Amino acid sequence: MNSQASKGLVLNIQHFCTNDGPGIRTTVFLKFCGLRCKWCCNPESIGQKPELAYNINKCIGKKACGRCLQPPAPEGAMYVLDGSDDRIHINWDLAHGCGEETTSLCPTGALYLFGKEMTVNDVLKEVEQDGTFYRESGGGITLSGGECLLQPDFSAAILAEAHQRGINTAIETAGNVPWEFMEKVLPHVDTVLHDHKLTDPVRHKKWAGADNKRILENFKKAYETFPDKTFVARTPVIPGVNDDEEHIRSVLAFIRPHKNVVDYQLLPYHRYGEPKYRFLGKVYELEDFTPPPPEKMDHLRAIIDESFGRTAPGTTG
């Protein structure tokens, strides 16, 4: 198979990313994930197929437009309430299968499809535009998701081709995939950003939808199989879930024996993804959660700095 023509499901290609590996990076979000983290900031990335989304703020209403009220959308999938506000509402049960034929009717982009099929070459063509910025900043491409390792052939092809074109590569992974998938992709990765979400397997299952047994096995194996790769461990710090010292220390105990795990970064919980739940007709469960206070982050980071023998805070969030 011509690997440049191989296809995958891409959610979004985001430029000028500065927290997904070294330098200024372009992050390619791939669709599909095996976990169900309640704090997920990319809920649109979870499903395996393109998904309809709707931002009512952009809708100009039935009177001015109303184009989506006709086929091909199933009858009743889009509707308008009585009253002066004639903006469209969605019946998500009916609208579930709506695809590009429907979203292309929307002139404002209020109706939108998350996820589109792209070839390796399509991806590289857009990513490569930023080459000048990679050169000046030491940046490159980062595959994220979703779980990019759940499209192992596509991911491996993208990253191999990126290496061919002289571009630095990184991935963000939660590690909950068959080892063969990881083994296939990692040879083409320079920096592996990988998540240690929770220590306790039961709580991991409760908060992230699966336990962490396979994840930890994979990571350990990865550290040992790919000694020349750079690994960066990360934890999204969720208040009351994993913002305890024990978790940080247990992650340190896990990673510190491996010299190729060069850093452990803490990412404070944020709610940037919340509006997207609404756009997808989903419910955001962590309604009452707030970002951890900076002092808390400083305290936890100090533990990591000590473990890495650093005096000044060296991690970013």
Partner 1 sequence: MASSIAKALDAAEMKSTNTRALSPQELAIQSDKKILYGSATDRVVRMYDAIRTYGAPRVTLERAVLFTESFKETENQPLVVRWAKALKNFGEKAPVTIFSDELIVGRPNTWLGRWGLVYPELDGSVMPAGVEMFRKNKGKPGEVVVTEEDAKIINDLLTPYWTGKDYATGFHDQLPEETRFILYGPDPKNTVLMTCVLAATSTMRHSQNWTPDFTKILNRGVKGIRAEAQAKLAALSNPRDVVYKKPFLDAVILTCDAMTAWSRRYADLARALAKKETNPTRKKELEQIAEICSWVPENPARTFYEALQAEWWGQMFNRIEQTSSAMGQGRMDQYLLPFYQKDLAEGRITKESATELFHCLWLQMAQCVEIKINPVYAAGTEGFSKYEDVVLGGQTPDGRDATNELTYLILESTRSLQITTPEPCIRIHSNTPERLLHHAAEVIKDGKGFPKLLNDEMVIPYYLANGATLQEALDWCVSGCCENRLPNRETHCIGNGGFNYGVATEMTFRNGKLKVLGDLQFGPQTGDPRTWISYDDVWAAFCKQVEHLSRHMLIQQYVAMRIEPNYFAAPATSMLHDLAMQECRDLHTHNDTFPGAIDHSCFESIGKGTAIESLAAVKHLIFDTKRLTWDELLTAIEDDWKGHEAIRQLCLNAPGYGNGIEWVDKIGWDIDRFILEFLHKNPKPNDQIFVLRSIPVTFHNPFGMVTWATPNGRPAKQYLSEGITCTQGRDTKGPTVLLESLARARVTGYREKAGELINMKFSPATVAGEEGTRRLMQIIQAWHDLKLWHIQFNIINKETLLAAQTDPDKYRNLIVRIAGYSAYFVDLTPALQAEIIARTEEQMAA
What's the min distance (Å) between Cβ of 225 and partner 1?
25
Element housing 88 (H / E): strand 88-90
Cβ distance to partner 1 smaller for residue 42 or 155: 42
Instruction: Give yes or no for residue 119 binding partner 1 (CB under 8 A).
Output: no
Cβ distance to partner 1 smaller for residue 107 or 221: 107
Contact call for residues 20 and 136 (beta carbons, < 8 A) = no
> SS3 string of 149-215?
HHCHHHHHHHHHHHHHCCCEEEEEECCCCCHHHHHHHHHHCCEEEEECCCCCHHHHHHHHCCCCHHH
Q: State which of residues 64, 81, 202, 302 lies at the interface with partner 1 (CB under 8 A).
A: 64
Instruction: Give yes or no for residue 236 binding partner 1 (CB under 8 A).
Output: yes
State how far the Cα of 91 lies from the Cα of 79, in Å rounded to an integer: 8
Instruction: Give yes or no for residue 166 binding partner 1 (CB under 8 A).
Output: no
Instruction: Give yes or no for residue 24 binding partner 1 (CB under 8 A).
Output: yes
What's the min distance (Å) between Cβ of 180 and partner 1?
25
Q: State which of residues 247, 252, 279, 301 lies at the interface with partner 1 (CB under 8 A).
A: 279
Distances in Å between the alpha carbon of 102 and those of 64, 89, 115, 311? Answer: 17, 14, 15, 56
Cβ distance to partner 1 smaller for residue 223 or 289: 289
Instruction: Give yes or no for residue 291 binding partner 1 (CB under 8 A).
Output: yes
Map residue 91 onto helix, strand or coil. coil
Q: State which of residues 8, 34, 45, 150 lies at the interface with partner 1 (CB under 8 A).
A: 45
Cβ distance to partner 1 smaller for residue 283 or 312: 312
**For residue 76, which amino acid is it?**
G
Contact call for residues 10 and 31 (beta carbons, < 8 A) = yes
State how far the Cα of 31 lies from the Cα of 29, in Å rounded to an integer: 7
Beta-strand pair 230-237/191-195: parallel
Q: Of 133, 87, 127, give the one whose Cα is nearest residue 110.
A: 87
Cβ distance to partner 1 smaller for residue 136 or 306: 136
Instruction: Give yes or no for residue 129 binding partner 1 (CB under 8 A).
Output: yes
Q: Of 216, 226, 161, 225, give the one whose Cα is nearest residue 194.
A: 216
Cβ distance to partner 1 smaller for residue 39 or 154: 39
Q: State which of residues 94, 267, 286, 303 lies at the interface with partner 1 (CB under 8 A).
A: 267
Only segment of 130-138, 158-166, 211-219, 300-308 that touches partner 1 (CB under 8 A): 130-138
The DSSP output letter for 43 is: G
Instruction: Give yes or no for residue 273 binding partner 1 (CB under 8 A).
Output: yes
Q: For residue 1, count CB atoms less than 10 angstroms from its CB and return exposed for 0-12, middle for 13-18, buried for 19 or more.
A: exposed
Q: State which of residues 7, 38, 135, 229 lies at the interface with partner 1 (CB under 8 A).
A: 135
Cβ distance to partner 1 smaller for residue 161 or 195: 195
Instruction: Give yes or no for residue 57 binding partner 1 (CB under 8 A).
Output: yes
What's the min distance (Å) between Cβ of 285 and partner 1?
17
Q: State which of residues 89, 91, 112, 299 lies at the interface with partner 1 (CB under 8 A).
A: 112
Contact call for residues 293 and 243 (beta carbons, < 8 A) = no
Q: Of 26, 15, 22, give the one whose Cα is nearest residue 159.
A: 26
Name the residues that contact partner 1, by CB under 8 A.
11-12, 14-20, 23-24, 26-27, 29, 41-42, 44-45, 53-55, 57-58, 60, 64-65, 67, 107-110, 112, 114, 126, 129-130, 132-133, 135-137, 142, 144, 172, 195, 234, 236, 267, 270-273, 275-276, 279, 291, 316
